[in-house]
Structure 1
Amino acid sequence: MRYIAIIIFFLFYSCSEGEQPKYSVSDTLWPENLGNHRAILEIDEPAEAVSLDILWRRHDRAPEQKRFIIIHESGDKVKNINRIHVDNERCHLTFGPVEKAGKYFFYYLPYDVQENYGFYNKGYLKPEEAPDQNWLGKTKKNENIKKARLQEFQSRSSFDSFYPMEVIALQSEKDSLLDIYKNDFLVFPEDRKYPIRMLDEIPQKWVLSGPSNQFEGEAHKNEYYALQLGVYAGQKDLSDLKVEFTSLKNGNVKIPASSLTCFNTGGTDPYGKPFTKRLDLEKGNVQPLWIGVDIPEDVQSGKYSGEITVLAENAAPQKINIQIKIGDVILADRGDNENWRHSRLRWLNSTLGIDEQPTKPYQPISVLGENEYGFTGKTMILGEKGFPASFDIKGTEILNGPVAFIVETGSGTENFTKPQNVQLLKNKPGVMQGAWESRSSNFKIEGVGTIESDGYINYKLKLKALKKVYLKDVRLEIPFRKDVANYMMGMGLPGISVPKKHEAKWEGPHDSFWMGNTDAGIWCELRGEGYSGPLLNLYRPEYPTSWFNENKGGFRIESNKNEMKAIVYSGSRGMEEGQELVFEWSMLLTPVKDINYKSQFTDRYYHNGGEPMPAEEDLKAGVKIVNLHHANQYNPHINYPFVAVDSMKWFVFKLHQKGQKVKIYYTIRELTNYTTEIWALRSLGNEILGDGRGGGYPWLREHLVSGYRPQWYQWFPDKSADASIVNAPGDSRWYNYYIEGLKWLVEKVDIDGLYLDDVSYDRRTVKRIRKVLDGTKPGCMIDLHSNTGFSKGPATQYAEYFPYLDKLWFGESFQYNKMSPENWLVEVSGIPYGLMGDMLQGGGNRWLGMLFGMTTRLPWSSDKIKADPRPVWKIWDEFQIQEAEMIGFWEDKPLVTTNDKSVKVTVYKNQGKVLLSIGNFSDSPKIISLNIDFDALGIKADNVKLTAPEIEDFQPEKTFKLNQKINIEARKGWLIIIQN
C-alpha cells in the first residue's frame, strides 16, 4: 500500500505542477551586484508585454521586498516589470516591452556590493520603480500576452546554489504528503553529500522521494562514515527525540553498536565529560540527526546491516534499516582529507590534550612540607584556614599575611572552624585538588581548592546558610607587601602605579586585577558558577551572582605602612535557611616563566594580512616567523583553514625552505560560512553557533535565513565573500574539533603554531592547545593579539593564558603617545608576566618601545609615523642585543637614571659595552643628564665613549661627552652605546 500511495502522490504532483525546472551553476561569474541567483528565460518573439509565472520555491525571507532586474543576453534591460503575485512559492509578473527574441536573465536578489572587510553594512536593492502607466494600460488591453518559458534556475557559483536541499516544497505538497503518511513523524535518510539545511521547511526533494525506512551507503575500511536522518514533525510536537543503534552485521562479523554515535543527542564536552542533550521538535519543523559510524581498519569487506531506531516520548518509534557496503580500500586518513565526507565530525567528541600532566616547561607539583607546595620556582604555604599564607617567587615574598575569606553578619565576623573532613580529590603531577568543610554558627562552607604546576590556584566555596540570616558582607582580602605591590591593573584601572586608595564597581569588564612588580605578583579573577572564559565584547558572560550581588559588590584598595590590601566585596543581602551561594576566584602567580630575551630579539615577525609572503629583503633583515592571517589566497576563510589546504601547504613549504616558521590565524570566536560542517553544527541548535536576529551579507540571509548573528566580512573579487557568524558564548564541543583540527594542521600542513586574535575559551583549552603542539611538533609557538577597545585591558583578561604563550601583541587601539611608562610596562610589554611583545597601533612608538625591547612587526606602519623596524633591528644585530642583559628602569636598582622622572632609561649590558635606550614619556621636550653606575655596568668611566649611531628615521649619528646634557624631543628618545 505504501508504494501505491507514493505512485498516486507522484502522479498527482507531476500533473498539478508541471515539469521540474533545471538547476545549474553558471560557467562564469556574472557581476556580483546582480545577486547570486537568476532565472534564465526564453522568449520566442518581440512583444509589448510578456507573462512569467514560475514556482521558484524560495526559502529566504520577504522575496517581494527585493528588486527585480530582467536583462536580454545582449545587455539590454527591460524597462517595465509589473508584479502580479510574489511570495516564497510563486512569482507571477508581466514585463516589457521585449524588443528582441532570445534569452533573458531574471535577477531577483540584487544587492549592494561592499568591496572591503570588516562588517557588512549594506543590503538588497529596494524594489524597482512602478511600471510606466501607459505601458501598463496597454498590457491590460492586450489579450494576447506572450509567455516566457523558464529554461532553468541558475546560481552564480556552486557555493551559492540552493539545489537541492534549499528548494522548498509547496504548502499544498506538504499537505498532500501528510495526508498520505499519517505517522507522528516522518524520517528522510540522507547521504552526507546533501546536508539537511532547512529546519523550518522540507525540500522538494523529500516530496519527490517520500519518507523512507531504508538507508544504503558505501564506505571504506578505517573510514569514519557520516550519514543523516531528517526527522519531520508533520503531525505534532515531538518530545525528547532519541536514537538507539544495533550492531551492523555481515554474517558473523559485526561492527558493534558502540561504534555508532548520534552527535545531536549527546557527546563529550570540552573538559572530557560525557553529556546528553534533550531534543524537542515543534510541529512543522525538521531535526537533522547526524550519525557517525566508526569503521575499523581491519574489518572484513562486505555489506553490513543493522537498525537505527528513532524514538520520542510522545510518538511511536520508527526503525530505519541501514546497510553500508564496505569495500577493500583502506582510508588512511579516516576521510579527513576530503571535507565532503564529514568524517571530522568525530572531532567534536575528542579528548585530545586532556590529562593532568604538567605542560612544558613546568615541573610536577612538589610537596615540600606540611601545607607547603612547590611549582617551578614558586612556593605556597597554606594557613590554618586553608587559604594561602605565603607566596614566594624565587625568594620574593608577595603576601604580608594570609589571604582571607571573610563572612560578616549584623552580629560581626563569622568565626569558622579549621578545615574539617579534608579529602584529597586529585594528586597528579600537573594538578592537586582538595576538599574540606568549615562551619560557623550561621554558615557552612564546602570548599574545593586546586593548584596547578604553572602557579595557578583556584578556590570554589559554597556558602550555605544554616538559618535565616542577614549577610552584611562577604569579602576576599589579599594583603600584599607594600614593597612588592608597585603596579596594578584592573579594578577599573589601566596599568598604573598602585594608588593608596581605590574603589571600583562592576561596570565594564572589571572581573579581574593584577598587582605586583616584575619580580612577583598575583593576578586574581572573580568567578561564579557559570564561568566560561574572558570577558569580551562578543562573549561577556553574566556577572557572578555571588560577587556582583545586583551591583552591591565591588573592589577597593586599602593601604598602610607595610601593606597594600586588595579587597573584593559582595555587599549585603538576606539569606534563607538552606540557601547557597558559590564564591569562586582564581589566582595566578607571576611571572609565569623566565623571559626568553634571545627569542624576543631574534625571532622577528612578518605579519601582512593580504600579502603574507615576505620579500627577500625582509628575510635578510632577520624575519624568522611569518604569521599567516586569514582573508588571503593561502588562508582565505576565517577560523576554518581546511578549504585552501593545498595553497597553505605550499606557502608553509616555501617559507620552511627559507628557514622561516609559519604560524596561522586560527581561532574560535566566529566561524566562516564556508565551513563544510556548518549545517551539521546548525543541527545542534545553539550549542556551537550563536543565535541572533540574522541579517548581514546576502549569502547568510539566503541560506541561514534566521537564527544567527553576522560577524566578520571579507570581500573577494573572484568568489562569494567570506561571511562569518558568531559562535555561541560559553563552552562547546567546537573546542574539541578545533584542537583536533590544530593537530591535523601541524601534521598535514606542517604549521609551526598559532596566531590567536581575541579568543573566548578559558585556560583549560589553551593548556590543551599547548600540550597538543608540544606533543605533535616541539618548538611550535603561540602568539596572542588583543585590542584594548574590546576588553578594556587585555593583559587583565588573558592573564590565565600566559603560562602557555610565547609572545604578546597587545597593541590595537593602544595610544602609545599618551600612555604612561607604567601603562606601557604593565599592559603592553608582557615583562611582569615573563613574556614580551610587539607594538601595533599606528606602528607604535619606536623610541619608547625600545625601553621594553619592542618594535613593530614588518610591514606594520602608518602614514604619520615611520615605523619600519629594520633600522632598529640593524642596531640590534650590530650590538648583538640577544646576548645582552636587559635591565629596565623598573628594576629596584636601575644602572642608569636621569634627573627627570619623566625620562626613563633601560640598559642592555653586553660584554664591555652597553646600549642605553632613553625615552621621554612627557609631551614636552626635555634636557636631561645621565646618572651612570659605571661599576655596575663593568665599564671604566675614564675615556668612556657615548655614541648615538645613525638610525634611519630614528636619530642622527652623534657623540656625547660624559657629562653632556642631552636634548630629547617629546615622546621620543635616543639609543646610545657606551664603551671604552
Structure 2
Amino acid sequence: MGALLGATPLAYAQAPADLQPLRWNADALGNHRYLLDVKAAAKAVHVVIPWRRRDAHPEQVAVLVTGPDGKPVANVLRGGISQAQGELVFEAAQAGTYAVYYQPYVSKGRSNYPTVTYAAPTDTADVNWAHKVGIDPRAWRKLPEATVLRYEAVDDFDAYTSMERTATPDEVKALLAAHANERLLVFPETREHPVRMFDALPESWATRGAGGALSDSALRGEYLSFQVGAWAPHGKVDDVRVSFADLRSDAGASIPASALTCFNLGGVDYAGKPFTTRVDVAEGKIQPLWMGLNVPVSIAPGVYHGEVTVSADGVPARKIPLAITVEAGQAVAHGDDDPYKLTRLRWLNSTLAQDDELVKPFTAITVKGATLGLLGREVKLDANGLPAQITSRFDERMTGFAPRPTNMLAAPMRLVVEDASGVHVLTGSKAPTVQTNGPAKVHWQVAGIAGPLQGDVQASLEADGTLVYSIALTAKDAVTLRDIRLEMPLSHDMAQYQLGLGRTGDHAPADFQWKWNVQNNQDGAWIGTVNAGLEFHLRDEHYLRPLNTNFYHQQPLRMPVSWDNAGQGGIRLHSDRDAYAVQAFSGPRQVQAGETLHYDLVMRVTPFKTIKPAEHFAERFFHKYGDLDAIKADGANVVNIHHATPINPWINYPFLEPGAMRAYIDTAHQRGVRVKIYDTVRELSDRAPELPMLESLGHEVISSGKGGGFSWLQEHLDGDYIAAWHVPENRDAAVINAGQSRWHNYYIEGLDWLARNMGIDGLYLDDVAYDRTTMKRVRKVLQAHREHPLIDLHSASQYNPRDGYINSVLLYMELFPYIDRLWFGEEFDYEKTSPSYWLTEISGIPYGLMGEMLQHDGNPWRGMLFGMTNRLGWSPGSDPRGLWKLWDAFGIEQADMVGWWVHDTPIKTDRADVLVTSYVRKGKKTLVALASWAPEKTSVKLAIDWKALGISAGKATLVAAPIEGFQPAATFKPGDAIPVEPGKGWLLVLE
C-alpha cells in the first residue's frame, strides 16, 4: 500500500472481524510481560525473571511494573539485567498479581510507516524508599520473593515462540564442552518450529544437544518441509553443502534422493533458470537450511529411513538420520490448502506459465526472412541485427488498424564505433537467421565487426513488441576510442511526444541532452505518437531492477558500465531536417586487448494493443470492500478488495481467510459482480507463515535495510530489512521484498491457487516491484481460469527525488501489454499539466490502455476527453454515478470514441486550448466531451463535420443534461458560442 501516499482512511475503516482483541494497551506498555504473584503486601519484594530474551541489549530497555489495580508502581529498582534474566525489587502495596512489562516502546511518525523506539530505563523510585531497600543486590535476597507465574504477550501473534527463548551462557558453555573444538554443529528441526534467531542459540537446542535424528510424518502426495540449523561457534564455516540418500522402508519401498531439495543452496529463479547459491556461516551465527521432501502419491505407507549429510570446507560431514512416516491418507493438492504446513515452499521453484506461448490478444510472430510481423506492427532487421525499419498499422483512434502503416525510422539504426581513423558502423556478414522459440518469441544472433572491435549481437522479439539486445564488443588489440554510440533516427511523423530522461510527458524537444546519474532512476525514454512509438532502455549484463515507491535509493539503478563510462556517457535528442535523431553515446575510452564491453538495449514498440472503449465503459469499478447489494444498486459491477479487509486482512498474503473470501466472491458472482483482490510482491505481511524461512535465504527475497518499523518486525526479525506498510487497525506490518526473486514463483502459484479455489476475477496491482517476465506469467495463469480476467495497475507519481524522478508510465510500460486498466494516481497533477502530459503520462491510450483518475478525485471534464472518471467508493468525493447515468442514457458503449488527438476528428473548437473528444453513434447522436486548458473563462464555437457524424446540421441541438457537481442543464445550437469555465467543460449530446 506504500504507493497510496495520500490514501483515505476509508480503505481501512473495517478491520477483520475475527481479530483477537488486545489484552492491554501495547502502545503504552509494550507487547510482552511476566505475571508475578505477591503473597502479602511489603515495602519491597524481590524477583528474578528468567525471561531468556532475544533482544541484544535488554539492559538498555525500560521495565514497567504494574500492581493488581493496573496502575504503575513507581518504586522499582533494577538489578542485573541480561538476556538470560532480569532482577527487580519493587514496592508491593498490596498482595495480588503484578505485571512486569519488559519491552515498552514509543511509536511516532506516520501511522502507516511508524518509527518505534524502545523506552530507555528511567529512575522513578523515591529516594527514601530506595535508601531503605539498599543498593546491594546481595541484600535483596533477604526480601520477600515474588513468584513468577507465567509469560504473556499482548496477543498470540506477538508472543515469542519457543525458538525465540535464548539459551543461557551456562547452557551454551555446557553444549560447547560436549562438542569441544567442533566448528559446525547441526540441529534438525521440524517445520512446526521454524528457526527465528540467527545470532543466538534457542534454549531447546542447548538442552537437547546437537545432532540427533529428525522424525516426522506426512500423507502420500504431501510436500514435507523441515530444517537443519547449522551453527558455527568457533569461527566462520565456508561453503556449506547438503546431500541426500534414498529413503527406504522395511518393506523395501523407496523414495529417491531426487525427491529432496535444499532451498538455501539454489533452485529455479523467477525467469525459470536453475541457479546455485553458496552458503557460508559467520562465526557465532546460525544458518537454517530449509529442505523439502516431495512424498510420492503412489508410495506405500510405512516408515522410511534415510539421511541428510551436511558438510563444509575443513569440517567433518554431519549425518542426520531421517525417519519419515508416510501415512495411508492422500494429501489434497500436496497439502497446499493449509499455508501453515509450509508445503507451499515448493512453489519457490515453480516454473508454472514459464513458456513462450501466446497471451491474448497477441498473435503469433510471423517470420519472412528478416521481416518479423506481430500484432499491428512489423520489425525489419538489418544485417547487423538491429532494426532497419519498424512500422505500425494502428490507427489514431487506437481502436483498429489503418490501411497504411506508419514508418517509425527515418533510416536504419546503427551502432557506431569511432576512433582516430574514423567512424565504423557495426556490420554483419549476412542477414540474420531468425529462430522460433514459440509462437510468442523469436531470436537471432549476428557476428559483426565495427572497426577495431568484434561484435556479438544476441537478440529476441516477443509478441507484445519487446526487443531485447545483448551486444558484446570485444577488442582484439588495445585501442583508443573516441566514442561508441547507438544512433536511432526516428521519423518526424512518429517523434511527436517524449517522456523520460528527467522530462515529463510533452512534445518532443528540438534539442536535449541527458547524462547518467545514480540519484535518478533513469536509463531510457519513450518517444512517439498515439499510434506509433518506441520505448528504449540502455543496460548491461549486471542490470537489476531497482526498488520503487519510496525505496529507490535503498536499491538504486546499477550504472551500466559501458554506457555510463565513468560519467562520460549520455543521450542526445535532436531534431534536424532528415530525422528526429536519438544518439546514446558513451564517450572516449581505452580498451585493452581481449576486453569486452556490453552495450545491452531493451526496446518496446508501442502501442501494444488496441483500446476497447465499449468494454472500458461497461466495467464500472467500486474500489472498496462493501455490501454487494449496495454496490450492485450503485451501478458498479467490478469490486476491488484491498488488504486490511475482512476477506483479505494481510497485505500481499491473501490466503488466511479462505472461507470468508470464497463466500464473498460466490455472493458477488450470484449478483453479476466480479471481484479483484489486492496482491502484489512489493512487500510482504509479517503474517506470512513462510517469513522465517524467507529470512533464512539472506536477501534473496527480503531486501536488506536498516530495520526498524513496527514493533513486531523489531522483536521477531533479525534487523536487516526495510520496514514497509503498516496497518494500525489490525497490526499488520510488512517488509520490502527484493525486486526480483523466487518469491515471484510463489506468487504465480499463489494466484493459480486463488483463481482455482477462491474464484478471483483478477488483480488490483498497487505499484509492483516485478518485471514483465512475472507479469506475463500472471496474465497466463489468470487467463487459464477466466475468459476475461481483469488486471488494473495503480501508481502514485514516481516523478520525485524519493523515487529518482522516474515517470510512472515509463517505470511500468513493460507491464502494460498484460494489464487492462490504469489508475494514475496520487501526486499526479490534473490541473496544471498539459493535454500532452495527460495523453502520455496518465491516460494510457498511446500504449493500448484506458484508465481512471485519483488525486483529489481528478478533473472530470478533462478526464472525459480520455474516457476517464474517478472511482466509486474510494473517497466521499469520488462519485462517477452521474456520469454513468449519462453514459447509459446516451448509449456510450455503442459509440466510436474519436479523441482530440485524431487529425480528422469530426468536432473541433476555435481555440487550441479547448479540446473536444467525440463519442459518435453515426447517424444517431454524438456525445461531445469538451474541456478547457484556457487560463480564464472563455467561449468557443464548434467546427463540426456533419457528414462524418451522419447528422443533419439544420435540425441538430446540443443538450447538456444536468449532472450534480459537473454541469447544469443547458441547450445550445451548433453555431452558438459555448461558455467554458477555466479547467472545466461540458458533456453535450448532439442529435
Correspondence 1:478-493 to 2 at 5 A: 478-493=488-503
Give the Cα–Cα distance (whole angstroms) in 1 for the partners of residues 859 and 432 of structure 2. Answer: 54
Give the Cα–Cα distance (whole angstroms) in 2 for the partners of residues 618 and 744 of structure 1. Answer: 26
Which of the residues 601, 618, 626 maps onto 1:613?
Answer: 626
Give the Cα–Cα distance (whole angstroms) in 1 for the partners of residues 23 and 567 of structure 2. Answer: 56
Name the counterpart of 1:704: 717
Give the Cα–Cα distance (whole angstroms) in 2 for the partners of residues 573 and 237 of structure 1. Answer: 42
Range moving further from structure 2, 891-900 or 66-75:
66-75
Q: Deviations along 1:441-481, whole A, 9 cap, x unmatched?
A: 31011110111112111111011122222222222222221
Give the Cα–Cα distance (whole angstroms) in 1 for the partners of residues 645 and 110 of structure 2. Answer: 13
8 Å contact from structure 1 (residues 534, 762) kept in 2: no
Change in Cα spacing, 1:825 to 1:415, as seen in structure 2 (3 Å) is: closer
Give the Cα–Cα distance (whole angstroms) in 2 for the partners of residues 57 and 948 of structure 1. Answer: 74
Name the counterpart of 1:124: 118
Range moving further from structure 2, 422-431 or 473-482:
422-431
Q: Deviations along 1:816-855, whole A, 9 cap, x unmatched?
A: 0111000000110011111100101110001110000000
Structure 2 residue 427 is the aligned partner of structure 1 residue 410 = no
Change in Cα spacing, 1:770 to 1:244, as seen in structure 2 (3 Å) is: same
Structure 2 residue 983 is the aligned partner of structure 1 residue 971 = yes
Name the counterpart of 2:641: 628
Q: Deviations along 1:398-440, whole A, 9 cap, x unmatched?
A: 1111112122223321244424696656542211111121123
Paired letter, 2:392: I
Give the Cα–Cα distance (whole angstroms) in 2 for the partners of residues 549 and 478 of structure 1. Answer: 20
SS in 1 for 2:782: helix
SS in 2 for 1:788: coil
Paired letter, 1:952: E
Give the Cα–Cα distance (whole angstroms) in 1 for the partners of residues 274 and 445 of structure 2. Answer: 23
Change in Cα spacing, 1:828 to 1:417, as seen in structure 2 (3 Å) is: closer
Deviation at 1:535, TM superposition (A): 6.3
SS in 1 for 2:173: helix
Name the counterpart of 1:15: none
Deviation at 1:614, TM superposition (A): 4.7
Q: Deviations along 1:684-735, whole A, 9 cap, x unmatched?
A: 111111122221111111111411121111112xx5x111111124x21111
Structure 2 residue 964 is the aligned partner of structure 1 residue 948 = no
Change in Cα spacing, 1:27 to 1:948, as seen in structure 2 (3 Å) is: closer
8 Å contact from structure 1 (residues 62, 88) kept in 2: yes
8 Å contact from structure 2 (residues 44, 143) kept in 1: yes
Name the counterpart of 2:681: 668
Give the Cα–Cα distance (whole angstroms) in 2 for the partners of residues 104 and 920 of structure 1. Answer: 70
SS in 2 for 1:656: helix
Name the counterpart of 1:503: 513
Correspondence 1:239-638 to 2 at 5 A: 239-250=238-249, 251-368=251-368, 370-394=369-393, 395-419=405-429, 426-507=436-517, 508-533=520-545, 536=548, 537-538=550-551, 539-608=555-624, 612-614=625-627, 616-638=629-651
SS in 2 for 1:299: coil
Give the Cα–Cα distance (whole angstroms) in 2 for the partners of residues 72 and 85 of structure 1. Answer: 22
Name the counterpart of 1:768: 777
Structure 2 residue 49 is the aligned partner of structure 1 residue 54 = yes
Range moving further from structure 2, 427-436 or 847-856:
427-436
Deviation at 1:801, TM superposition (A): 1.1
Deviation at 1:27, TM superposition (A): 9.5
Which of the residues 896, 911, 914 maps onto 2:907?
Answer: 896
Correspondence 1:220-239 to 2 at 5 A: 220-239=219-238
Paired letter, 2:575: S
Correspondence 1:674-685 to 2 at 5 A: 674-685=687-698
Give the Cα–Cα distance (whole angstroms) in 2 for the partners of residues 526 and 410 of structure 1. Answer: 26
Deviation at 1:283, TM superposition (A): 2.4
Change in Cα spacing, 1:663 to 1:532, as seen in structure 2 (3 Å) is: farther
Change in Cα spacing, 1:806 to 1:300, as seen in structure 2 (3 Å) is: same
SS in 1 for 2:707: coil
8 Å contact from structure 1 (residues 638, 722) kept in 2: yes
8 Å contact from structure 2 (residues 513, 571) kept in 1: yes
Name the counterpart of 1:847: 861
8 Å contact from structure 1 (residues 60, 703) kept in 2: no
Structure 2 residue 104 is the aligned partner of structure 1 residue 100 = no
Paired letter, 2:338: E
Paired letter, 2:269: D
Paired letter, 1:31: N
Q: Deviations along 1:644-673, whole A, 9 cap, x unmatched?
A: 222222222222222111111111111111
SS in 2 for 1:436: strand
SS in 2 for 1:189: strand
Using CA pairs under 8 Å that are at least 6 residues apart, name the structure with larger relative contact order, 1 or 2.
2
Change in Cα spacing, 1:121 to 1:28, as seen in structure 2 (3 Å) is: closer
Give the Cα–Cα distance (whole angstroms) in 2 for the partners of residues 547 and 727 of structure 1. Answer: 28
Flag structure 1 segments of 5+ consecutive residues without an equivalent. 1-24
8 Å contact from structure 2 (residues 245, 307) kept in 1: yes
Correspondence 1:818-829 to 2 at 5 A: 818-829=832-843
Deviation at 1:216, TM superposition (A): 0.9
Paired letter, 2:41: P
Which of the residues 158, 165, 176 maps onto 1:167?
Answer: 165
Give the Cα–Cα distance (whole angstroms) in 2 for the partners of residues 340 and 115 of structure 1. Answer: 33
8 Å contact from structure 1 (residues 519, 591) kept in 2: yes
Name the counterpart of 2:916: 905
SS in 1 for 2:563: helix
Name the counterpart of 2:664: 651
Structure 2 residue 890 is the aligned partner of structure 1 residue 879 = yes
Change in Cα spacing, 1:708 to 1:108, as seen in structure 2 (3 Å) is: same
8 Å contact from structure 2 (residues 495, 508) kept in 1: yes
Q: Deviations along 1:30-73, whole A, 9 cap, x unmatched?
A: 22222111011111111111112222111113323333221122
Deviation at 1:319, TM superposition (A): 1.0
Change in Cα spacing, 1:622 to 1:446, as seen in structure 2 (3 Å) is: same
Change in Cα spacing, 1:387 to 1:116, as seen in structure 2 (3 Å) is: closer
Which of the residues 781, 787, 800 maps onto 1:778?
Answer: 787
Paired letter, 1:743: D
| Aligned residues with identical type, % of pairs | 38
TM-score (norm 1): 0.94
Q: Deviations along 1:578-620, whole A, 9 cap, x unmatched?
A: 1111111111111111111112101111112xxx115645423
Paired letter, 2:323: Q
Give the Cα–Cα distance (whole angstroms) in 1 for the partners of residues 591 and 887 of structure 2. Answer: 63
8 Å contact from structure 2 (residues 51, 85) kept in 1: yes
Name the counterpart of 1:3: none
Name the counterpart of 1:133: 127
CA-atom RMSD in angstroms? 1.9
8 Å contact from structure 1 (residues 693, 708) kept in 2: yes
Name the counterpart of 1:5: none
Give the Cα–Cα distance (whole angstroms) in 1 for the partners of residues 433 and 925 of structure 2. Answer: 57
Give the Cα–Cα distance (whole angstroms) in 2 for the partners of residues 335 and 39 of structure 1. Answer: 37
Which of the residues 958, 969, 989 maps onto 1:957?
Answer: 969
Deviation at 1:151, TM superposition (A): 1.2
8 Å contact from structure 1 (residues 164, 205) kept in 2: yes
Q: Deviations along 1:159-209, whole A, 9 cap, x unmatched?
A: 112130000001221111110123332221111110011111110011121
Give the Cα–Cα distance (whole angstroms) in 2 for the partners of residues 372 and 723 of structure 1. Answer: 52
Q: Deviations along 1:204-232, whole A, 9 cap, x unmatched?
A: 01112112331111111110011111112
Give the Cα–Cα distance (whole angstroms) in 2 for the partners of residues 600 and 551 of structure 1. Answer: 45
Paired letter, 2:898: I
Change in Cα spacing, 1:958 to 1:382, as seen in structure 2 (3 Å) is: same
Give the Cα–Cα distance (whole angstroms) in 2 for the partners of residues 204 and 535 of structure 1. Answer: 38
Deviation at 1:112, TM superposition (A): 3.3
SS in 1 for 2:35: strand
8 Å contact from structure 1 (residues 378, 391) kept in 2: yes
Give the Cα–Cα distance (whole angstroms) in 2 for the partners of residues 932 and 269 of structure 1. Answer: 57
SS in 2 for 1:852: coil
Change in Cα spacing, 1:215 to 1:884, as seen in structure 2 (3 Å) is: same
